[in-house]
Structure 1
Amino acid sequence: MKTKNLLPNAWKPVGWALLIISVPFGLWLLVDDSAFPFNLVIQFPWPFGSEKSGAFQNIDMLDHKDGTITLDLIDELMALAVIAGLMIVGFARLKVEDERIAQLRLESLQWAIYGNTLVLVLCILLVHGLSFINVMIYNMFTPLLIFVLRFHWLLLVAPALEAKRERRVA
Protein backbone atom coordinates (compact mmCIF):
# COMPACT_ATOMS: atom_id res chain seq x y z
CA MET A 1 0.00 0.00 0.00
CA LYS A 2 1.30 3.43 -0.92
CA THR A 3 1.21 5.73 2.10
CA LYS A 4 1.48 9.47 1.84
CA ASN A 5 2.91 11.94 4.30
CA LEU A 6 4.91 9.46 6.37
CA LEU A 7 8.59 9.81 7.13
CA PRO A 8 11.03 7.16 5.90
CA ASN A 9 11.50 4.10 8.10
CA ALA A 10 15.20 4.89 8.46
CA TRP A 11 14.31 7.93 10.59
CA LYS A 12 12.65 5.85 13.33
CA PRO A 13 15.94 5.13 15.22
CA VAL A 14 16.69 8.87 15.18
CA GLY A 15 13.29 9.53 16.78
CA TRP A 16 13.85 6.88 19.45
CA ALA A 17 17.32 8.30 20.17
CA LEU A 18 15.87 11.80 20.57
CA LEU A 19 13.23 10.48 22.96
CA ILE A 20 15.64 8.37 24.99
CA ILE A 21 17.97 11.33 25.44
CA SER A 22 15.50 14.19 25.86
CA VAL A 23 12.78 12.65 28.06
CA PRO A 24 15.02 11.95 31.09
CA PHE A 25 16.74 15.32 30.73
CA GLY A 26 13.36 17.04 30.34
CA LEU A 27 12.04 15.34 33.48
CA TRP A 28 15.21 16.35 35.31
CA LEU A 29 14.62 19.95 34.28
CA LEU A 30 11.05 19.75 35.57
CA VAL A 31 12.12 18.38 38.94
CA ASP A 32 15.25 20.42 39.65
CA ASP A 33 16.54 22.73 36.94
CA SER A 34 19.13 24.30 39.25
CA ALA A 35 21.16 21.06 39.36
CA PHE A 36 21.01 20.51 35.60
CA PRO A 37 24.58 20.15 34.25
CA PHE A 38 24.03 21.70 30.82
CA ASN A 39 22.81 25.10 29.79
CA LEU A 40 22.31 27.03 26.60
CA VAL A 41 22.58 30.69 27.54
CA ILE A 42 22.21 33.52 25.06
CA GLN A 43 22.41 37.24 25.71
CA PHE A 44 21.04 40.01 23.58
CA PRO A 45 20.26 43.71 24.03
CA TRP A 46 16.93 44.58 25.60
CA PRO A 47 15.58 47.63 23.71
CA PHE A 48 13.09 48.65 26.40
CA GLY A 49 15.68 50.06 28.79
CA SER A 50 17.24 48.64 31.90
CA GLU A 51 14.42 49.53 34.29
CA LYS A 52 11.92 46.89 35.31
CA SER A 53 8.63 48.70 34.97
CA GLY A 54 5.15 48.15 33.68
CA ALA A 55 4.63 44.89 31.84
CA PHE A 56 8.31 43.98 32.23
CA GLN A 57 8.41 43.88 36.06
CA ASN A 58 8.45 40.10 36.23
CA ILE A 59 11.22 39.51 33.72
CA ASP A 60 13.88 37.82 35.83
CA MET A 61 16.43 37.59 33.02
CA LEU A 62 16.80 41.37 32.68
CA ASP A 63 20.22 42.62 33.73
CA HIS A 64 19.93 46.11 35.24
CA LYS A 65 23.48 47.20 34.54
CA ASP A 66 23.85 46.99 30.79
CA GLY A 67 20.27 46.52 29.53
CA THR A 68 20.77 43.02 28.16
CA ILE A 69 18.54 40.04 28.59
CA THR A 70 19.91 36.56 29.31
CA LEU A 71 17.93 33.47 28.41
CA ASP A 72 18.69 29.85 29.25
CA LEU A 73 17.11 27.93 26.39
CA ILE A 74 17.88 24.37 27.52
CA ASP A 75 14.29 23.65 28.59
CA GLU A 76 12.98 24.86 25.23
CA LEU A 77 15.57 22.70 23.47
CA MET A 78 14.48 19.63 25.48
CA ALA A 79 10.81 20.32 24.72
CA LEU A 80 11.57 20.60 21.00
CA ALA A 81 13.60 17.38 21.12
CA VAL A 82 10.72 15.52 22.82
CA ILE A 83 8.21 16.83 20.27
CA ALA A 84 10.51 15.99 17.35
CA GLY A 85 11.18 12.52 18.74
CA LEU A 86 7.48 11.81 19.24
CA MET A 87 6.65 13.08 15.75
CA ILE A 88 9.35 10.96 14.12
CA VAL A 89 8.49 7.82 16.10
CA GLY A 90 4.77 8.27 15.54
CA PHE A 91 4.84 9.15 11.87
CA ALA A 92 7.76 7.16 10.49
CA ARG A 93 6.76 4.47 8.04
CA LEU A 94 6.92 0.89 9.28
CA LYS A 95 8.76 -1.73 7.25
CA VAL A 96 5.40 -3.22 6.25
CA GLU A 97 2.68 -0.62 5.76
CA ASP A 98 -0.66 -2.23 4.96
CA GLU A 99 -4.33 -1.43 5.51
CA ARG A 100 -4.26 -2.88 9.03
CA ILE A 101 -1.39 -0.58 10.04
CA ALA A 102 -3.16 2.40 8.48
CA GLN A 103 -6.29 1.53 10.46
CA LEU A 104 -4.30 1.18 13.69
CA ARG A 105 -2.64 4.53 13.02
CA LEU A 106 -6.01 6.20 12.41
CA GLU A 107 -7.61 4.67 15.51
CA SER A 108 -4.61 5.67 17.64
CA LEU A 109 -4.82 9.22 16.38
CA GLN A 110 -8.53 9.30 17.19
CA TRP A 111 -7.87 7.96 20.70
CA ALA A 112 -5.15 10.58 21.16
CA ILE A 113 -7.58 13.39 20.37
CA TYR A 114 -10.26 11.92 22.66
CA GLY A 115 -7.72 11.43 25.45
CA ASN A 116 -6.28 14.90 25.07
CA THR A 117 -9.74 16.45 25.11
CA LEU A 118 -10.66 14.53 28.26
CA VAL A 119 -7.44 15.57 30.02
CA LEU A 120 -7.98 19.17 28.92
CA VAL A 121 -11.60 19.27 30.16
CA LEU A 122 -10.60 17.78 33.52
CA CYS A 123 -7.77 20.26 33.90
CA ILE A 124 -10.02 23.20 33.01
CA LEU A 125 -12.45 22.07 35.71
CA LEU A 126 -9.91 21.17 38.39
CA VAL A 127 -6.83 23.40 37.93
CA HIS A 128 -6.89 27.14 38.45
CA GLY A 129 -4.49 30.03 38.72
CA LEU A 130 -0.91 29.98 37.54
CA SER A 131 -0.79 26.18 37.72
CA PHE A 132 -3.08 26.17 34.70
CA ILE A 133 -0.25 27.57 32.58
CA ASN A 134 1.89 24.55 33.49
CA VAL A 135 -1.03 22.28 32.60
CA MET A 136 -1.25 23.93 29.17
CA ILE A 137 2.49 23.45 28.67
CA TYR A 138 2.23 19.73 29.48
CA ASN A 139 -0.91 19.46 27.37
CA MET A 140 1.01 20.16 24.19
CA PHE A 141 2.77 16.79 24.62
CA THR A 142 -0.37 14.80 25.43
CA PRO A 143 -1.76 14.09 21.93
CA LEU A 144 1.56 12.92 20.52
CA LEU A 145 2.34 10.88 23.62
CA ILE A 146 -1.05 9.13 23.66
CA PHE A 147 -0.81 8.48 19.92
CA VAL A 148 2.68 6.96 20.08
CA LEU A 149 1.88 4.86 23.16
CA ARG A 150 -1.41 3.52 21.80
CA PHE A 151 -0.11 2.87 18.28
CA HIS A 152 2.94 0.96 19.45
CA TRP A 153 0.90 -0.88 22.08
CA LEU A 154 -1.53 -2.00 19.37
CA LEU A 155 1.38 -3.07 17.19
CA LEU A 156 2.55 -5.32 20.01
CA VAL A 157 -0.84 -6.59 21.21
CA ALA A 158 -2.91 -6.74 18.00
CA PRO A 159 -1.21 -9.85 16.52
CA ALA A 160 -1.75 -11.74 19.79
CA LEU A 161 -5.40 -10.67 19.93
CA GLU A 162 -5.98 -11.74 16.32
CA ALA A 163 -4.37 -15.14 16.98
CA LYS A 164 -6.57 -15.61 20.05
CA ARG A 165 -9.65 -14.64 18.06
CA GLU A 166 -8.76 -17.11 15.29
CA ARG A 167 -8.30 -19.92 17.84
CA ARG A 168 -11.76 -19.24 19.27
CA VAL A 169 -13.36 -19.30 15.80
CA ALA A 170 -11.61 -22.51 14.74
Structure 2
Amino acid sequence: MTTYLFPNSVKPWAWLILILGVIGGILATAFEFEPELFEMKVLSLYSTDDFFVQNNGFFKWMEQNIFDDICGVFIIIGGVLLGFSREKIEDEFIMQLRLSSLALAVYVNYGILLLAFLLIHGLDFFTVMIYNMFTLLLIFILIFQIKLKTAKDGR
Protein backbone atom coordinates (compact mmCIF):
# COMPACT_ATOMS: atom_id res chain seq x y z
CA MET A 1 0.00 0.00 0.00
CA THR A 2 1.37 3.44 -0.96
CA THR A 3 -0.83 5.79 1.04
CA TYR A 4 2.21 7.55 2.50
CA LEU A 5 3.41 8.75 -0.92
CA PHE A 6 2.76 12.21 -2.32
CA PRO A 7 1.06 12.55 -5.72
CA ASN A 8 3.25 12.41 -8.82
CA SER A 9 2.17 15.95 -9.74
CA VAL A 10 4.41 17.47 -7.01
CA LYS A 11 7.63 16.17 -8.59
CA PRO A 12 8.41 19.21 -10.81
CA TRP A 13 7.90 21.53 -7.84
CA ALA A 14 9.94 19.23 -5.61
CA TRP A 15 12.86 19.32 -8.07
CA LEU A 16 12.68 23.12 -8.25
CA ILE A 17 12.57 23.55 -4.46
CA LEU A 18 15.38 21.02 -3.93
CA ILE A 19 17.65 22.55 -6.58
CA LEU A 20 17.10 26.08 -5.25
CA GLY A 21 17.90 24.85 -1.73
CA VAL A 22 21.08 23.05 -2.82
CA ILE A 23 22.34 25.99 -4.91
CA GLY A 24 21.54 28.43 -2.10
CA GLY A 25 23.17 26.13 0.44
CA ILE A 26 26.34 25.94 -1.63
CA LEU A 27 26.40 29.73 -1.99
CA ALA A 28 25.82 30.19 1.75
CA THR A 29 28.48 27.72 2.89
CA ALA A 30 31.17 27.98 0.22
CA PHE A 31 30.98 31.72 -0.41
CA GLU A 32 29.40 32.92 2.87
CA PHE A 33 26.58 34.44 0.80
CA GLU A 34 24.11 36.18 3.13
CA PRO A 35 21.87 38.70 1.32
CA GLU A 36 20.79 41.60 3.53
CA LEU A 37 17.20 40.93 2.48
CA PHE A 38 17.24 37.91 4.81
CA GLU A 39 18.57 39.81 7.85
CA MET A 40 15.79 39.93 10.46
CA LYS A 41 14.84 39.37 14.07
CA VAL A 42 13.84 35.80 14.79
CA LEU A 43 12.63 34.04 17.90
CA SER A 44 15.19 31.57 19.21
CA LEU A 45 14.20 28.69 21.46
CA TYR A 46 17.56 29.00 23.21
CA SER A 47 20.23 31.56 22.53
CA THR A 48 23.84 31.86 23.64
CA ASP A 49 25.80 34.97 22.84
CA ASP A 50 28.86 33.70 24.66
CA PHE A 51 29.65 31.25 27.43
CA PHE A 52 30.27 34.04 29.93
CA VAL A 53 27.54 36.50 28.96
CA GLN A 54 24.46 36.84 31.12
CA ASN A 55 22.24 37.40 28.06
CA ASN A 56 21.88 33.67 27.37
CA GLY A 57 18.45 32.14 27.77
CA PHE A 58 15.25 30.70 26.42
CA PHE A 59 12.86 32.41 23.98
CA LYS A 60 15.05 35.32 22.95
CA TRP A 61 14.64 37.56 19.93
CA MET A 62 17.88 37.84 18.00
CA GLU A 63 19.15 39.42 14.78
CA GLN A 64 19.90 36.65 12.30
CA ASN A 65 20.42 36.14 8.58
CA ILE A 66 17.98 33.35 7.72
CA PHE A 67 19.20 32.65 4.17
CA ASP A 68 20.93 29.40 5.15
CA ASP A 69 17.89 28.39 7.23
CA ILE A 70 15.61 28.87 4.22
CA CYS A 71 18.01 26.84 2.07
CA GLY A 72 17.92 24.00 4.61
CA VAL A 73 14.12 24.09 4.70
CA PHE A 74 14.03 23.99 0.89
CA ILE A 75 16.37 20.98 0.79
CA ILE A 76 14.28 19.09 3.33
CA ILE A 77 10.88 19.91 1.81
CA GLY A 78 12.04 19.41 -1.80
CA GLY A 79 13.91 16.21 -0.90
CA VAL A 80 11.04 14.64 1.02
CA LEU A 81 8.52 15.54 -1.69
CA LEU A 82 10.80 14.21 -4.41
CA GLY A 83 11.92 11.07 -2.62
CA PHE A 84 8.44 10.10 -1.54
CA SER A 85 6.29 10.99 -4.55
CA ARG A 86 4.55 8.38 -6.61
CA GLU A 87 5.91 7.45 -9.98
CA LYS A 88 3.54 7.68 -12.96
CA ILE A 89 3.24 3.90 -12.76
CA GLU A 90 3.60 2.87 -9.13
CA ASP A 91 3.79 -0.91 -8.82
CA GLU A 92 5.44 -3.46 -6.53
CA PHE A 93 8.71 -3.27 -8.49
CA ILE A 94 8.95 0.50 -7.96
CA MET A 95 8.13 0.07 -4.28
CA GLN A 96 10.93 -2.51 -4.00
CA LEU A 97 13.35 -0.13 -5.75
CA ARG A 98 12.36 2.65 -3.35
CA LEU A 99 12.85 0.41 -0.30
CA SER A 100 16.19 -1.00 -1.45
CA SER A 101 17.39 2.51 -2.35
CA LEU A 102 16.47 3.76 1.10
CA ALA A 103 18.26 0.86 2.78
CA LEU A 104 21.38 1.37 0.65
CA ALA A 105 21.30 5.12 1.34
CA VAL A 106 21.27 4.43 5.10
CA TYR A 107 24.30 2.13 4.75
CA VAL A 108 26.23 4.61 2.58
CA ASN A 109 25.32 7.59 4.77
CA TYR A 110 26.39 5.91 7.99
CA GLY A 111 29.53 4.55 6.33
CA ILE A 112 30.48 8.11 5.44
CA LEU A 113 29.62 9.26 8.94
CA LEU A 114 31.73 6.47 10.45
CA LEU A 115 34.70 7.59 8.35
CA ALA A 116 34.09 11.17 9.48
CA PHE A 117 34.17 10.07 13.13
CA LEU A 118 37.52 8.40 12.54
CA LEU A 119 39.19 10.91 10.22
CA ILE A 120 37.76 14.40 10.85
CA HIS A 121 38.19 16.27 14.11
CA GLY A 122 37.58 19.64 15.72
CA LEU A 123 35.21 22.21 14.26
CA ASP A 124 35.46 20.56 10.84
CA PHE A 125 33.55 17.61 12.29
CA PHE A 126 30.75 20.00 13.27
CA THR A 127 30.57 21.09 9.62
CA VAL A 128 30.34 17.43 8.57
CA MET A 129 27.45 16.93 11.02
CA ILE A 130 25.61 19.89 9.53
CA TYR A 131 25.93 18.41 6.03
CA ASN A 132 24.94 15.02 7.43
CA MET A 133 21.46 16.39 8.19
CA PHE A 134 20.85 16.38 4.44
CA THR A 135 23.02 13.60 3.05
CA LEU A 136 20.74 10.66 3.85
CA LEU A 137 17.88 12.22 1.91
CA LEU A 138 20.11 13.32 -0.99
CA ILE A 139 21.88 9.94 -1.23
CA PHE A 140 18.48 8.18 -1.21
CA ILE A 141 17.19 10.36 -4.05
CA LEU A 142 20.38 9.82 -6.05
CA ILE A 143 20.34 6.02 -5.62
CA PHE A 144 16.61 5.76 -6.32
CA GLN A 145 16.85 7.88 -9.47
CA ILE A 146 19.81 5.83 -10.74
CA LYS A 147 18.02 2.53 -10.05
CA LEU A 148 14.84 3.86 -11.64
CA LYS A 149 16.68 5.01 -14.78
CA THR A 150 18.59 1.73 -15.00
CA ALA A 151 15.38 -0.28 -14.59
CA LYS A 152 13.54 1.75 -17.23
CA ASP A 153 16.42 1.35 -19.69
CA GLY A 154 16.45 -2.40 -19.05
CA ARG A 155 12.74 -2.89 -19.72
TM-score bucket (shorter structure): 0.7 to 0.9
Aligned match for 2:152, one of 146, 151, 159: 159
Say yes or no: does 1:42 pair with 2:40.
yes
Determine the C-alpha separation between the residues in 2 that align with 1:148 and 1:106. Answer: 11
One-letter identity of the residue aligned with 2:71: M
Report the secondary structure of 2:86's partner residue: coil
**How far apart in 2 are the matches of 1:136 and 1:126?**
13
- TM-score, structure 2 as length reference: 0.84
1:80-131, Cα deviation, whole Å (9 max, x unpaired):
1011111111001111100100000000000110011101100000011111
Matched with 1:19 is 18
Matched, 1:117 2:121: no
Match of 2:3 in 1: 4
- Structure with higher Rg: it is 1
Q: How many pairs does the alignment contain?
A: 147
Q: CA deviation at 1:43?
A: 2.4
Q: How far apart in 2 are the matches of 1:53 and 1:78? A: 26
Tell me which of 47, 63, 74 is aligned to 2:67: 74
- Higher share in strand: 2
- Of all paired residues, the percent bearing the same amino acid is 39
Q: Distance in 2 between matches of 1:141 and 1:44?
A: 23
CA distance in 1, matches of 2:11, 2:126: 32
Q: Please provide the CA RMSD for this pair.
A: 2.4
Unaligned runs of 5+ in 1: 47-51, 60-67, 164-170
Deviations 1:1-55 (A, max 9, x none): x41200111111110110222211211111112x544541222699xxxxx6644
Structure 2, unmatched stretches of 5+, are none
Runs of 4+ in 1 over 2 A off after TM superposition: 35-39, 43-46, 52-57
Looking at structure 2, the residues matched to 26 and 45 of structure 1 have their Cα atoms a distance apart, in angstroms, of 22
